[in-house]
Structure 1
Amino acid sequence: MDVSAFKDYYIPMNKGMWRDLEKGDISKPELINTRFSRAFVHFGLEKDGKELAQLYQRFLSQQGQTYEGARELLADLKQAGYQIYAATNGVTAIQEGRLERSGLLPYFDAIFISEQLATAKPSLDFFEKVSERIAGFSKEKTLMIGDSLTADMAGGAAFGIDTAWYNSKQLDNNSSVQPTYTLSDYSDLRALLLR
């Protein structure tokens, strides 16, 4: 099988399935357990999607790559007194493993994973559950930073908090979602929060 052709098909198909999850059109188990089998079917091969998902999760959870400058930025934000939380729709086993191996876990006050909350971004229920678990939560003092217009920006805006779209690839915003801020790199975030 041509790996390049597989990736060319799989990447947009997988992104589409995550968008379907955000819209509530599919469930998390359906996404996780069928995305690989769907991709292989496209190339005429029958594979067990659930088995491939388990292998993928095991290997991906053992990786902990970070972007250059992430650790320094998080350290500076903590030093400045910020509370930092992570909110993800990702798979629990993967997210916990990656954060542990990245060395970034100590910078976060808490991690909120959709599977554990039984709801996903951009649902208002997700944001409400997160806010209930943060002592002294204030919408006026909260900034949702994320790279997804549909999950992070739309969800945050609907919940009534400021949003910052991390748009490092300089993508066009062809949606109706208008983030409060648009950031192209960490220096933008540093300038916004560490004035």
Structure 2
Amino acid sequence: MQYAIFDLDNTILDFDRAEAANLAAVFQHHGVTDIRRAENEYQAYNETVWQQIEQGADRDSLLDQRFQVFLGTLGITVDGPAVQQEYDQLLAHSYQVIPGAHELLRTLTNAGLTLLVGTNGIKHTQLSRLAGAHMTPYFDHIFISESIGYAKPNPHFFNAIHDQYPDMNATNTVMIGDSLRSDIAGAATVQLPSIWYNPQHVHNDTTIAPTYTVDNFKQLQKLLLTA
């Protein structure tokens, strides 16, 4: 194994913790009374937004309007792009790391693997979070959907990585991520093996088949260093 492409959110950065704290702050600021219920309802709505983005819909317009649309269902009128910017600023300064991630990345780097980031998201937000978490030095290159112009699982996302590393192939490269729909399915579109990071033991009721499945970083490290 020569190249390991890492997803960020809920793979090495703890997006769930960051999102919960930042949503609570945004909702409180805009007068939401039942924050816990709003968070749950927002999660379901936001899932549909990202499904559309992953299927090729315009990312900027969907993200700029998602808080306006969602808060509108609660009877709250806001400026969508302004609230999105407010949320982005909070998220950009959220540096929660999944425990053990630093040790994993350090070990893999010392073993000679070339580590890459392959993430869907907003460029300045993801770069800020990586820097704040002191993880940037581990990675040889950071590929973000906003910069590439395509989101996982679109094969063009992975083709952009291959353009930078033309010696990548199905025997020396693997995609690691928590999302079956974007990370694992995306790797399959370009015939790359994949590792599904599934610490919550989520049942796979889809037809998407990861090459490997792990539920902790020790398993992941062993797999990467012996594959």
- 2:115 aligned residue: 84
Mapped pair 1:5 → 2:37: yes
Aligned partner of 1:149 among 180, 191, 208? 180
SS at structure 1 position matched to 2:195: strand
CA deviations over 1:130-189 (Å, ceiling 9, x no partner):
111125323321100011111110010110010011111111111110000011111210
Q: Give how far 1:46 is off.
A: 1.1
Contact in 1 for aligned 2:169/2:192 (Cα 8 Å): no
- 2:194 aligned residue: 163
Cα RMSD, aligned residues only? 1.1
Q: Give how far 1:194 is off.
A: 2.8
- Percent identity among equivalent residues? 35
* Cα distance in 1, alignment partners of residues 179 and 48 from structure 2: 13
- For structure 1, the 5+ residue unaligned runs are none
TM-score, with structure 2 as normaliser? 0.82
- 2:49 aligned residue: 17
- 2:30 aligned residue: none
Moved over 4 A (4+): none
Mapped pair 1:193 → 2:227: no
TM-score, with structure 1 as normaliser? 0.96
- 2:28 aligned residue: none
SS at structure 2 position matched to 1:41: helix
Instruction: Report the AA paired with residue 35 of structure 2.
Output: V
CA deviations over 1:82-104 (Å, ceiling 9, x no partner):
00000111111110110010001
Aligned pair count reads 194
Higher RCO by CA contacts (8 Å cutoff, separation 6 or greater): 2
* Cα distance in 1, alignment partners of residues 96 and 165 from structure 2: 27
Contact in 2 for aligned 1:145/1:164 (Cα 8 Å): yes
- 1:39 aligned residue: 70
Contact in 1 for aligned 2:89/2:125 (Cα 8 Å): yes
SS at structure 1 position matched to 2:93: coil
Contact in 2 for aligned 1:153/1:163 (Cα 8 Å): yes
- For structure 2, the 5+ residue unaligned runs are 1-32
- 1:27 aligned residue: 58
